[in-house]
């Protein structure tokens, strides 16, 4: 099995004791600029190299492939902390869609995030989409100055899902930024404020 032998004979496993064991890159999982640990490296006989990397911040895995792209690629938009798991997964998907120019899919996911948020906060899962925004407004998660752009998340998502033309890049980026801002307001600020909460003295 020569192919087998070839596979492992070209793999180097740096120890991390010198610079050859580390590689600076922007992590596609957490978005941070890190010096990642090179877990394994291959110098290909055809030329070029492949790195299997571990992020020193979030510890997740990436590959610098032979085409010199990182996998996963850097997702578009900000990392938001303090999200419930299903909201976090949906938001991650919306961001990853934009990393591969899947603009229509990203807008569809952003619309779906409205539903995730509303249901997480107690809305009935079988409501029409307009009802989710009404619910979030009624419960105080969407305030009057926010309404205009929150409605755009729904409208752009509707067009992406129900009309034939593909979503335009610029609009899809805007839809994602509105979604990020809503997630910040509903989840991240409360999450961050808990870090500053003083222990009760009474």
> What is the binding site for Zn ion (CB under 5 A)?
27, 29-30, 55, 57-58
- Name the residue nearer to Zn ion (CB basis): 36 or 157: 36
Closer to Zn ion by CB, 63 or 151: give it: 63
For residue 185, the minimal CB distance to Zn ion (Å) is: 25
Shortest Å distance, C-beta 36 to Zn ion: 8
SS (HEC) of the chain: CHHHHHHHHCEECCCCCCHHHEEEEECCCCCCEEEEEEEEEEECCCCCEEEEEECCCCCCEEEECCCCCEECCCCCCCCCCCCCHHHHHHHHHHHHHHHCCCHHHHHHHHHHHHHHHHHHCCCCCCCCHHHHHHHHHHCCCCCHHHHHHHHHHHHHHHHHHHCCCCCCHHHHHHHHHHHHHHHHHHHHHHHHHHCCCCCCCC
CB of 32 to Zn ion, least distance (A): 6
Cβ closer to Zn ion: 76 or 132?
A: 76
Q: Which is nearer to Zn ion, 40 or 58 (CB)?
A: 58
Cβ 196 to Zn ion shortest distance, Å: 25
- We find the least distance from the C-beta atom of residue 24 to Zn ion, in angstroms, to be 13
Q: How far is the CB of 6 from Zn ion (least distance, A)?
A: 31
The crossing angle, in degrees rounded to 10, of helices 169-183 and 85-99 is: 160
Q: Which is nearer to Zn ion, 29 or 171 (CB)?
A: 29
Residue number, 55 or 183, with CB nearest to Zn ion: 55
Rounded Cα gap, residues 182 and 90, in angstroms:
14
């Amino acid at each position: 099995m020569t192919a087998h032998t070839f596979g492992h004979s070209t793999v180097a496993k740096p120890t991390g004791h010198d610079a050859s064991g580390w590689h600076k890159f922007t992590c596609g999982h957490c978005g941070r600029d890190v010096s990642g640990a090179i877990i394994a490296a291959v110098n290909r006989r055809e030329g070029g190299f492949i790195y299997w990397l571990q992020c020193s911040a979030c510890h997740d895995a990436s590959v610098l492939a032979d085409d010199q792209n990182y996998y996963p690629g850097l997702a578009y938009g900000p990392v938001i902390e303090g999200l419930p798991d299903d909201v976090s997964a949906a938001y991650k998907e919306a961001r990853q869609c934009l990393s591969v120019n899947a603009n229509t899919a990203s807008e569809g996911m952003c619309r779906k995030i409205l539903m995730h948020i509303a249901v997480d906060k107690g809305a009935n899962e079988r409501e029409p989409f307009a009802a989710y925004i009404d619910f979030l407004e009624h419960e105080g998660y969407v305030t009057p100055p926010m309404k205009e752009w929150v409605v755009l998340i729904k409208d752009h998502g509707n067009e992406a899902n129900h009309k034939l033309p593909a979503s335009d890049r610029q609009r899809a980026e805007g839809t994602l930024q509105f979604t990020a801002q809503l997630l910040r307001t509903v989840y991240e600020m409360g999450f961050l404020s808990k870090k500053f909460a003083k222990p009760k003295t009474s």
